[in-house]
């Protein structure tokens, strides 16, 4: 391996800024890492090497991430002239006509995109095993999932191909793969980042998975902010999210719980991780008590499915109108086809009932966070599962959905409420698999979470924990 893979994005950019290395050196080293490691991981599905090499000449040396190699998830962030498949055979030949606003901000931040990463079809499942590209694998155990839907990005960052990579999160898709791969993953508040799909797509928000907390905070400084006329707005950003990482968050009142939103039990390793994190927070001077808001799990899952499937159906219909044809019988995977057709059956009345349920869950959360600064739970219901755990050729749609909620019983709540939440890699189980812990905060208060994350990172640094793939 080269000399750069142990450095986070901030440290790599500093080498460029001080002219110790040239951006092309970072780019070529990262390309070499992709070529070496990607055959095992299947994380990068669309190389963009020549694009990155051309863009080296345009890098502003004073940009916060000048010359840093980067990867873009193949979902929700079109890059002009590059295919944008969303992990679907339906879009295998679709080429984005222009950059998304987020991609434009990545470029202004100095990032050099080397390729696009694997994702499940339309980001539907919390594992990354699309028929179009095949499964991505977890560098901690190649027989297991890196999570989803930003699984390709997380696998690449965990293997230190790049120090951070684009991810987005409509039900946990930043936090799930961060947990599975031993990374830091912050989902910002609703309205903090430029949106992708307009008024109806309010569950999702984009950011990154990263090795370090400071990288996540500094890129949030560089990319946060909605466009004029956006339907959802977060409270004003602080002067610097990065500065909040460096500051003490003060003494926080942290609630922790060992019961899930959906009512599914947590695996023993996940329970051990959250208890360990609670003890660590207490040792850092925070007030830690066991408590949780009251959420009707069955009502939550029913409402989430109605809204999620309706939004998926709407998106496919928009694509069909743009492409001039509906997806063919073999162009959608069985789970996606079932979700799409189910979404078409969601009436306006049912959709509004789902939104009303979301409002009730949000009110319950707001009341809970009036008393507590942070809520701590396991990120996942299970450790990283083996590939094939969610197989839509073997499970009917209802069984598949139930198993998905067992794996992901917490994260979707904060897409509903719009609150910021993060997965922090503080625990590894006896099998050497990372088990993330999940912290949620009040809407607009990413700074509180980042301050706590910085404190946790200082107390128990994870950056030097490398997966077995790097020593093989």
Residue 256 and residue 274 in contact, taking contact as beta carbons nearer than 8 Å: yes
Residue 253 appears among annotated catalytic residues: no
Residue 65 and residue 166 in contact, taking contact as beta carbons nearer than 8 Å: no
Residue 461 appears among annotated catalytic residues: no
Neighbour order of strands in the sheet with 184-187: 164-169, 205-210, 184-187, 421-428, 434-441, 374-378, 253-256, 287-290
Residue 284 and residue 254 in contact, taking contact as beta carbons nearer than 8 Å: no
* Cβ-based neighbours of 128, under 8 Å, separated by 6 or more: 87, 118, 119, 120, 135, 136, 145, 146, 147, 148, 149, 150, 151, 152, 155, 177
Query: Can you spell out the DSSP letters for 242-264?
Result: HHHHHS---S-EEEE-SS-SSSP
Strands (E), 144-269: 164-169, 184-187, 205-210, 253-256
Residue 257 appears among annotated catalytic residues: no
Residue 189 and residue 241 in contact, taking contact as beta carbons nearer than 8 Å: no
| CA distance from start to end of the chain | 12
Catalytic residue among 73, 107, 116, 403: 73
Residue 307 and residue 350 in contact, taking contact as beta carbons nearer than 8 Å: no
Residue 206 and residue 193 in contact, taking contact as beta carbons nearer than 8 Å: yes
- Closest Cα partner for 169 from 412, 391, 451? 412
* Residue with the two structure tokens 């997965």: 423
CA-atom Rg of the chain in angstroms: 20
Catalytic residue among 88, 136, 149, 212: 149
Catalytic residue among 86, 173, 210, 423: 173
Say how far apart CA 58 and CA 109 lie, in whole Å: 12
Active site residues: 73, 149, 173
């Amino acid at each position: 391996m080269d000399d750069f893979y142990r450095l986070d994005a901030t440290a790599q950019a500093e080498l460029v800024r001080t002219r110790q290395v040239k951006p092309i050196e970072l780019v070529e080293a990262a390309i070499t890492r992709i070529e070496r490691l990607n055959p095992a991981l299947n994380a990068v599905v669309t190389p963009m090497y020549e694009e990155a090499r051309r863009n080296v000449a345009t890098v502003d040396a004073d940009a916060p991430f000048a010359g840093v190699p980067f990867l873009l998830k193949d979902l929700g962030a079109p890059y002009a002239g590059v295919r944008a498949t969303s992990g679907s055979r339906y879009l295998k030949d679709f080429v984005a006509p222009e950059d998304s606003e987020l991609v434009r901000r990545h470029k202004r931040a100095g990032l050099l995109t080397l390729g696009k990463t694997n994702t499940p079809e339309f980001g539907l499942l919390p594992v990354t095993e699309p028929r179009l590209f095949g499964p991505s694998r977890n560098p901690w155990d190649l027989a297991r999932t890196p999570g989803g839907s930003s699984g390709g990005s997380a696998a690449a960052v965990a293997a230190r191909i790049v120090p951070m990579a684009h991810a987005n999160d409509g039900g946990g898709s930043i936090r799930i793969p961060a947990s599975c791969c031993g990374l830091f993953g912050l989902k910002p508040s609703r309205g903090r980042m430029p949106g992708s799909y307009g008024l109806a797509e309010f569950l999702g928000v984009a950011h990154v998975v990263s090795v370090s907390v400071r990288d996540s905070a500094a890129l949030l400084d560089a990319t946060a902010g909605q466009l004029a006329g956006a339907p959802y707005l977060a409270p004003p950003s602080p002067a610097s999210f990065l500065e909040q990482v460096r500051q003490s968050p003060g003494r926080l009142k942290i609630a922790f719980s060992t019961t899930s939103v959906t009512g599914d039990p947590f695996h023993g390793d996940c329970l051990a991780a959250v208890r360990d994190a609670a003890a660590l927070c207490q040792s850092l001077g925070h007030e830690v008590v066991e408590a949780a808001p009251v959420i009707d799990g069955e009502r939550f899952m029913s409402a989430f499915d109605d809204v999620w499937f309706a939004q998926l159906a709407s998106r496919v219909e928009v694509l069909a109108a743009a492409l001039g044809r509906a997806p063919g019988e073999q162009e959608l995977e069985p789970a996606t086809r079932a979700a799409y057709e189910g979404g078409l059956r969601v009436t306006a009345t049912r959709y509004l009932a789902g939104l009303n349920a979301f409002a009730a869950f949000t009110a319950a959360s707001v009341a809970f966070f009036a008393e507590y600064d942070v809520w701590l739970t396991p990120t996942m219901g299970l450790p990283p599962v083996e590939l094939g755990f969610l197989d839509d050729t073997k499970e009917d749609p209802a069984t598949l959905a139930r198993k998905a909620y067992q794996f992901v019983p917490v994260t979707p709540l904060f897409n509903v409420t719009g609150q910021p939440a993060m997965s922090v890699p503080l625990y590894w189980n006896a099998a050497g698999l990372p088990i993330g812990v999940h912290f949620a905060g009040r809407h607009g208060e990413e700074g509180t979470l980042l301050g706590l994350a910085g404190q946790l990172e200082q107390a128990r640094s994870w950056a030097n924990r490398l997966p077995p793939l790097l020593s093989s």
